[in-house]
């Protein structure tokens, strides 16, 4: 199975179902099962964002966020290039159907970078791993055996 390492709170936001679209600076041709891995590093800016999001998503406040662990599996179903029209609409607060009923509303927009030239990785079939499984991560897409 392929895996993707993300900083917290992004990994947990996917694991709790709050984030269905992961934005990346690079595209992928890969489609299929994808493990969501929380990085060991938890930078200060992300810690602050996690505190802010804990007011909206109580699951982020319940316990310390896992680090260095697979927190969920999903299916990567599509990778969509963000166009100027999409980016402008999202920036203006207009809901955008980015792919097959995956709507970028204000809540989703707050959890990603939908700038022109970036890529929206569309995620489905979420399975949260409780407890998370400790494993070292890597950059990019990497192979993991559950």
Q: Using the predicted structure, report yes or no on whether residue 126 has a pLDDT greater than 80.
A: yes
Give yes or no for a contact between 68 and 5, defined as CB atoms under 8 angstroms apart.
no
What are phi and psi for residue 138, nearest 5 degrees? Answer: -160, 170
Give yes or no for a contact between 70 and 34, defined as CB atoms under 8 angstroms apart.
no
Given this model, what pLDDT does residue 111 score? 94
Assess if residue 63 is contained within a domain.
yes
- Is residue 51 very low, low, confident or very high in pLDDT (cuts 50, 70, 90)? confident
Termini Cα distance of the chain: 8
Beta-bridge partner residues of 75: 33, 124
CATH code, 66? 2.30.130.30
Assess if residue 52 is contained within a domain.
yes
Q: What percent of the chain has pLDDT over 70?
A: 99
3-class secondary structure, 135: coil
Q: Which of 48-62, 78-92, 97-111 has the highest mean pLDDT?
A: 78-92
Q: Using the predicted structure, report yes or no on whether residue 26 has a pLDDT greater than 90.
A: yes
What residue numbers bound the domain in which 10 lies?
A: 2-81+118-139
Distances (CA, A) of 127 to 14, 73, 75: 10, 5, 9
Given this model, what pLDDT does residue 99 score? 87
Assess if residue 18 is contained within a domain.
yes
| Plot region of 27 (φ>0 → left; ψ -120 to 50 → alpha; else → beta) | beta
Assess if residue 50 is contained within a domain.
yes
Q: How many domains does the chain have?
A: 1
Q: What is the pTM of this model?
A: 0.94
Kindly report, residue by residue over 64-101, the tens digit of the pLDDT.
899 999 999 999 999 999 999 999 999 999 999 998 88
* Average of per-residue pLDDT across 11-35: 97
Is the bond leading into 88 cis (omega within 30 degrees of zero)? no
Where would I find the beta strands (DSSP E) of 39-139? 69-81, 96-99, 102-104, 119-134
């Amino acid at each position: 199975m392929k895996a993707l390492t993300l900083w917290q709170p992004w990994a947990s936001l996917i694991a709790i179902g709050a984030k269905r679209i992961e934005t990346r600076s690079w595209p992928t041709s890969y489609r299929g099962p994808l493990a969501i891995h929380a990085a060991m590093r938890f930078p200060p800016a992300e810690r602050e964002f996690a505190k802010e999001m804990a007011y909206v998503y109580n699951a982020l406040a319940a316990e310390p966020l896992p680090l260095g662990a697979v927190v969920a599996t999903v299916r990567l179903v599509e990778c969509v290039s963000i166009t100027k029209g999409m980016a402008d609409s999202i920036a203006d607060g207009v809901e955008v159907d980015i792919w097959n009923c995956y709507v970028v509303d204000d809540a989703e927009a707050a959890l990603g970078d939908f700038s022109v030239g970036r890529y929206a990785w569309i995620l489905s079939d979420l399975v949260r791993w409780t407890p998370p499984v400790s494993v070292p991560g890597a950059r990019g897409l990497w192979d993991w055996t559950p």
